[in-house]
Every structure is written in structure tokens, then in C-alpha cells.
């Protein structure tokens, strides 16, 4: 497997990809997965959306704000200008992002990618020692941080790291500096297989595992799970609780709505009951959260507040059949279960509508293939437990990590989950 010529001046990420012989099998079976060699996912998701649908469509909502697609593109371009003109960012440089789910974090993410940089989005509640680990692995040139969350980043005393804060009132705040920029920026023509983001797995032991994902991978999650299972509409309003640093949240609250010309309601923090209220107040139609939150909404007697939803996605933990039935009886909604992995970027097994079988995760998402195998990679008969093995247009690429040969075996991504396939 050969890579396209990179647009990255800084080859850090490409130099740290695992050897292609250790990659899983990749296949692009669907017509929509045939991407051009030069591709910047930020350009496809944002620039193309503005050109095709106009700048005035609602894009990012909060309980107090409303950004249009045009406003998001303007601010993303201004972020890209600050990064490149004021701080010398070159394509391939990494930028650490830190903050809760809000529009400026999304603008920073798009600004980094439009400039050809690599986004390293981190969980907002990480402490100094954890941030030090992620810094030592990804070696970011800059950090963009919500001013309320700068303390731990400062406490980490990361050598040579310039920190830009946003959302404050200081003259040097990123928002003020963006306001002084024109907002005209030519999106860098990255290669489809240039690294767009470094995502860290949520494992709690050992050295954090950094997964490398390409520009085409970001779009592939929208062109598989979102397009074929969620089937979003331009008038949808997505919302949910997963942080944007969690690839489940990045897909459900940024990539999927923007790929459809829809809007996203971003919530920094909310109890399940408050989440239900926000769904009702803002007319949300697609909800992403965990089974625990769905149960809590019912327990709070707030199920009726979800009446406007047409899609509810559950992931992050197992969805028991009893919870599915209880939720369906209370709301009339059919929970879409799914399993994904940071290594795969998003959901690869799921089912929707009449294809849902409560207690089962579902089928391979169109574009993916799945099997149940034993420790040696041999198929396990239906009805017997084995290891879940998956391939598709995305796959595991750990950055300089010997665990690559543990996750990828015989061409399959071996997720570590035990599954049974029925007849």
C-alpha cells in the first residue's frame, strides 16, 4: 500500500505511522468512499457546505448563541490566519485543543485542519500529568485552550508550548485576535491520506495509545454510519453529551450534522434531566448519549421532553434489551445501538428502525465487514462466542506503538470485544 505525496511540511505524523504491512485490510466498497487524492475534510465539511447551501443556514447552537455556517467558516479562517500568520504554523504541525463543547472549540478544530495542521483534541478535565503524557507523545507546536481550563495546562509547564486561550476578555485572547483578521484563507490542499487528527484511546492503564486518522477517514465515518444508518436531514438538529475529544462526540456533534447541512446544539455540561429540557427547548431531532443517560431521563420523568426526536443513538456502554424496551414504551422511540472504537474512529456495527433487534448491537454498517474469530483468526461457528473482528474504510494506526500488532491481526482489527453472531 502506497501513500499519496504528502502536503505536510512537518512529516512528524507520517514518519510515525506503523509500517503498512501492519495496517489492517482497508476497503472502499461504496461509491461514496471513492475519495480524490487531494482532500481536506474541513474544506469538504465547511467550505463546500457554504458554497452549496449558502452561508446563512444555522450551524452551531448553544443555549445562548447561534452561529451560521458562514460565521463558522469566517471564524475558522480567522483561527487559521492567527495560527499561520502570527505563530508560523506549517502543515503537519500538531495543535492541542482543550475545552468543553462550544462553538469556539469547533472553530479551532476547523481552523487547524484548514491550515493543514493536525488536531489533538483532549478531554477538558485532564490533569497536568495526563496532559504531559499526551504532549510528550504528540509534540504539539501550539495549544488552543478555553480560558477557564488553562490552569492545568499551565501547571504542566510543557516546554516550548505556546498556549492561546479563547473566551476571555484579555487583549491577547484568541477571539480578539481573530476579530482583527480578514477571514480570508485558502484551505490547504492536504492529501486524503495526510493525518488530520490524533485521537487518544480511553484506556486507563499504561502509556496512552495515540491513533492516527486521515482526512478521508473523517469523511468515511459520515459516508458509512451517518449516511446509511442515521440518514440525517438538512433540517435536523443534533445534540448530545459526548465530548468532542471523544470520537463518538466528534462524529455525532460536528462531522455528521455538517456533512448533511444540519445544525448542532452544543452543551458544555448537563444533567440528563437538563439535557431533555434542552432537546425540547431547541427542537433537537437527533440525540447522542449513553444508556445511563437514557435511563436517567426516564427515571426523572422527563421522557415526554424527547417527543421531538426522530433519532436516539446509544453507545459507550452495552445497551441491555430491558432498557431498550423501557425507553421505547415510554417514548415511542427506537434506540439505535452501536459499537465503535477510537481505533476505527466511529461506529461500525449498528442497526436502525425495523432492523433493530433489542439486546443485539446490529449488523456491520455499510462499508464495513465483521466476523467472529478465535485467537488464531479462524472463524467461530454462529452461536458461539469469539473475538469481534472488523475491517472497512477506517482502521487502527497506532503512533509508534508495539500494540499495533496486538490490535491488528491477520488483516483484521481485533477490538477486544467478545461477541456472538446468530444464524
Within a domain: 4 = no
Within a domain: 5 = no
Cβ atoms of 262 and 238 closer than 8 Å: yes
Q: What is the pLDDT of residue 98?
A: 98
CA distances, 210 to each of 133, 256, 362 (Å):
11, 23, 28
Range of the domain at 380: 12-419
Q: What is the pLDDT of residue 206?
A: 74
Q: Is 398 left (phi over 0), alpha (psi -120 to 50) or beta?
A: beta
- pLDDT tens digits, one per residue of 46-99: 999 999 999 999 999 999 999 999 999 999 999 999 999 999 999 999 999 999
Within a domain: 337 = yes
Within a domain: 2 = no
Within a domain: 3 = no
Burial (CB count <10 Å: 0-12, 13-18, 19+), residue 333 = middle
Q: What is the pLDDT of residue 207?
A: 83
Q: What is the pLDDT of residue 315?
A: 85
Q: What is the pLDDT of residue 316?
A: 81
Length of the chain: 423
Q: What is the pLDDT of residue 205?
A: 64
Cβ atoms of 305 and 279 closer than 8 Å: yes
Within a domain: 54 = yes
Q: What is the pLDDT of residue 203?
A: 62
Average pLDDT over the chain reads: 96
Sign of CA dihedral 15, 16, 22, 26: negative
Q: What is the pLDDT of residue 222?
A: 98
Q: What is the pLDDT of residue 56?
A: 98
User: Which residues of the chain register pLDDT less than 50?
Assistant: none
Within a domain: 241 = yes
What's the number of domains the chain is made of? 1
Which H/E stretch holds residue 279?
Answer: helix 272-282
Q: What is the pLDDT of residue 185?
A: 98
Within a domain: 7 = no
Supply the CATH number for residue 275's domain. Answer: 3.40.50.12780
Amino acid at each position: 500500500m502506497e501513500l499519496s505525496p504528502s502536503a505536510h511540511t512537518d512529516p512528524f505524523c507520517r514518519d510515525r505511522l506503523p509500517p503498512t504491512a501492519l495496517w489492517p485490510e482497508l476497503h472502499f466498497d461504496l461509491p461514496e468512499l471513492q475519495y480524490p487524492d487531494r482532500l481536506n475534510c474541513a474544506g469538504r465539511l465547511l467550505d463546500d457546505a457554504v458554497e452549496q447551501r449558502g452561508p446563512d443556514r444555522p450551524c452551531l447552537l448553544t443555549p445562548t448563541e447561534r452561529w451560521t455556517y458562514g460565521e463558522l467558516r469566517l471564524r475558522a479562517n480567522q483561527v487559521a490566519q492567527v495560527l499561520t500568520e502570527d505563530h508560523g504554523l506549517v502543515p503537519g504541525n500538531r495543535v492541542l485543543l482543550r475545552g468543553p463543547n462550544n462553538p469556539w472549540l469547533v472553530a479551532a478544530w476547523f481552523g487547524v485542519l484548514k491550515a493543514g495542521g493536525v488536531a489533538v483534541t483532549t478531554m477538558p478535565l485532564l490533569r497536568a500529568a495526563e496532559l504531559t503524557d499526551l504532549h510528550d507523545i504528540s509534540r504539539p507546536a501550539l495549544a488552543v485552550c478555553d480560558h477557564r481550563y488553562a490552569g492545568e495546562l499551565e501547571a504542566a509547564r510543557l516546554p516550548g508550548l505556546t498556549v492561546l486561550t479563547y473566551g476571555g476578555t484579555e487583549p491577547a485572547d484568541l477571539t480578539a485576535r481573530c476579530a482583527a483578521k480578514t477571514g480570508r484563507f485558502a484551505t490547504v490542499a492536504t492529501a486524503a491520506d495526510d493525518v488530520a487528527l490524533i485521537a487518544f484511546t480511553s484506556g486507563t492503564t499504561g502509556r496512552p495509545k495515540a491513533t492516527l486518522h486521515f482526512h478521508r477517514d473523517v469523511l468515511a465515518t459520515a459516508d458509512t454510519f451517518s449516511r446509511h444508518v442515521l440518514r440525517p436531514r438538512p433540517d435536523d438538529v443534533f445534540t448530545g453529551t459526548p465530548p468532542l475529544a471523544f470520537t463518538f462526540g466528534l462524529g455525532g456533534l460536528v462531522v455528521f450534522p455538517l456533512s448533511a447541512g444540519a445544525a448542532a446544539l452544543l452543551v458544555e455540561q448537563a444533567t440528563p434531566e437538563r439535557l431533555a429540557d434542552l432537546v425540547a427547548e431547541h427542537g433537537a431531532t437527533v440525540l447522542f448519549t449513553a444508556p445511563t443517560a437514557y435511563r436517567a431521563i426516564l427515571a426523572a420523568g422527563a421522557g415526554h421532553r424527547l417527543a421531538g426526536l426522530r433519532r436516539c443513538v446509544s453507545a459507550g456502554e452495552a445497551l441491555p434489551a430491558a432498557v431498550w424496551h423501557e425507553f421505547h414504551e415510554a417514548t415511542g422511540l427506537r434506540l439505535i445501538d452501536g459499537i465503535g472504537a477510537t481505533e476505527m474512529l466511529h461506529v461500525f456495527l449498528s442497526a436502525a428502525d425495523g432492523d433493530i433487534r433489542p439486546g443485539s448491537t446490529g449488523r456491520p454498517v455499510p462499508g464495513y465487514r465483521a466476523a467472529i474469530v478465535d485467537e488464531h483468526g479462524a472463524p467461530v461457528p454462529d452461536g458461539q462466542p469469539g473475538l469481534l473482528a472488523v475491517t472497512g474504510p477506517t482502521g487502527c494506526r497506532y503512533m509508534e506503538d508495539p500494540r499495533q500488532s496486538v490490535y491488528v491481526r491477520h488483516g483484521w482489527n481485533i477490538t477486544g470485544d467478545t461477541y456472538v453472531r446468530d444464524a
